[in-house]
Amino acid sequence: MQGATVLASLLVLLLLLPFGNCDYISGQVIVKYKATGGSRSSAAPEPALLQLQPGEDVEMALKRLQSDPRVEWVEPNYLVAGTQSNSWASPGEIANWGLTKISAQTAWSMVNSTASAKVCIIDSGTDCRHPDLQKNCLDGYNVLTNKRGIQAAMDDNGHGTQVAGVVAASYGNAGIVGVAPNVGICKYQCLSEIEQIPASESDVNH
């Protein structure tokens, strides 16, 4: 189920898009430097928020850093927000063409159980009252309030619950079936209903 979990992670990234017309924080970029030493054991530095030089705009900084051979990648510090969605699906299983496309049922038949696997959903929280997710939720943490617990990271947007359903919705209830049903969900709330936050706060620092 490792491949399915990786695919689910990619779907999460695709569903969490920059807000509006790719707005970003002026005077800042996020940069990831390459590992040094040429050894596989050498840990690559984590992505970091970089304050730009006085008078340097973001586009200038991107060109400068992209030409630096030490830099693996660099991007603006985008403002991100979850999109509004209806997380409560209509009764009955909904056909999901994506599961057919990736031959999910074949993968399920090769795995005895995914109950011990855990997936972290970093989004607007997860509404664990949803019938497809009630058995999956393990723990939660709210980055915005610095509180821990399932109730602390309750979804007030709908986006995080939708993402959790794509990843782990259980089979036989309402709505879709997840890529990896029955995996445990650790939910992290870094977005609120209407708030925009810099990507550096949602990804780099947490």
Question: Which residue type, as a one-letter code, is found at position 140?
Answer: G
70 and 88 together in one domain: no
51 and 105 together in one domain: no
Query: Are the C-beta atoms of residues 181 and 4 closer than 8 Å to each other?
Result: no
* Domain endpoint, select from 49, 80, 111: 80
CATH number of the CATH domain containing 162: 3.40.50.200
In this structure, the number of other CB atoms found within 10 A of the CB of residue 203 comes to 17
* Domain endpoint, select from 42, 58, 80: 80
Run of H or E including 76: strand 71-80
pTM comes to: 0.54
In which domain, by residue range, is 158 found? 2-19+82-204
Predicted confidence (pLDDT) per residue in 136-171, tens digit: 888 899 988 889 988 888 888 788 888 898 888 887
* Domain endpoint, select from 80, 101, 117: 80
34 and 134 together in one domain: no
Average pLDDT over residues 42-55: 82
Number of domains present in the structure of the chain: 2
In this structure, the number of other CB atoms found within 10 A of the CB of residue 151 comes to 11
13 and 59 together in one domain: no
For residue 181, what pLDDT is reported? Answer: 83
